[in-house]
């Protein structure tokens, strides 16, 4: 489909048993550039599996995944890794910052794999941290940051490579209500810059902020609005 960033075409992901489990069942999804999509569903519904497929961490058992028009099923692992590093940013519930690296070092790290020229890396990392309001903590250890500050650094790390797609997995799961609002506001600003955002969440309030709301249950995806 012209203009689509993400296309899942009849994607099924099965895990061997016994009994065999179909975590995703004939899922079809199109995400265009600049879309802001939430995916909600109960535990065990297939949310994590879909995130792993979208993030090129896992492969469909059946069906096709196209990212920016590239048929990802045709790529070897090196090709998938290169595409993931250049086109996708990740934000996780548990932040996943490296504890022995400073804030700045954590944000510099993804550019080692994305092909960003060495001469541009520090400037881009500083700009990303400025954008999320964390330029005053460049030399800090993640252990000294609050949960909200850690998530802001994680967002800076996710977008420093200028990805087309940002995948956020329960990004507010460890945050209080006020900090949740701050982080979601930041994701919405980034979406306003043209980044496609897909938020996987169990929080109805977080899901409601998206322009499109999807629900997954029993491995089947449906559009709520």
Strand order across the beta sheet in which 165-169 lies: 88-92, 165-169, 196-201, 36-40, 212-217, 220-223
- The predicted pLDDT at position 92 comes to 86
Percent of the chain with pLDDT over 90: 65
DSSP label at residue 20: P
Phi, then psi, of 127 in degrees rounded to 5: -65, -40
Cβ-contact 202, 170 below 8 angstroms: yes
Mean pLDDT of all residues in 199-204: 88
Rounded CA separation 202/186 (Å): 19
Residue 109 Cα distances to 13, 98, 213, angstroms: 31, 10, 32
Ordered by start, the domain boundaries in the chain are 4-223
pLDDT at 1 > cutoff 60: no
pTM of the model: 0.90
Confidence category of residue 115, pLDDT binned at 50, 70, 90: confident
Phi, then psi, of 82 in degrees rounded to 5: -65, -40
- The predicted pLDDT at position 2 comes to 47
Q: Which run of H or of E encompasses 64?
A: strand 62-67
Under DSSP, is residue 49 helix (H, G, I), strand (E, B) or coil? Answer: helix
Domain range 4-223, CATH class: alpha beta
Query: Helix-strand-coil percent breakdown of the chain, rounded to 5?
Result: 40, 30, 35
């Amino acid at each position: 489909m012209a203009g689509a960033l993400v296309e899942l075409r009849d994607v099924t992901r099965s895990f061997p048993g016994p009994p065999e489990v179909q975590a995703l069942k004939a899922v079809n999804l199109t995400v265009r550039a600049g879309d802001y999509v939430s995916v909600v569903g109960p535990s065990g519904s297939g949310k994590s599996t879909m995130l792993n497929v979208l993030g090129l961490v896992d492969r469909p058992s059946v069906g096709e995944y196209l990212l920016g028009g590239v048929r990802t099923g045709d790529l070897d692992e090196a090709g998938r890794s290169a595409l993931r590093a250049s086109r996708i940013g990740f934000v996780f519930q548990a932040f996943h910052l490296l504890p022995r690296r400073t804030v700045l070092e954590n944000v510099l790290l993804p550019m080692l794999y994305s092909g960003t020229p060495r001469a541009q890396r520090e400037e881009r990392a500083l700009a990303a941290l400025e954008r999320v309001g964390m330029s005053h903590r460049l030399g800090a250890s993640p252990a000294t940051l609050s949960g909200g500050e850690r998530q802001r650094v994680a967002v800076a790390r996710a977008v420093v490579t200028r990805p087309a797609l940002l995948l956020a997995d329960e990004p507010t799961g460890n945050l209080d209500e006020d900090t949740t609002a701050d982080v979601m506001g930041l994701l919405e600003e980034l979406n306003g810059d043209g980044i496609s955002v897909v938020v996987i969440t169990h929080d109805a309030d977080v899901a409601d902020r998206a322009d499109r709301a999807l629900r997954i249950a029993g491995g089947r995806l449906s559009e709520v609005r």
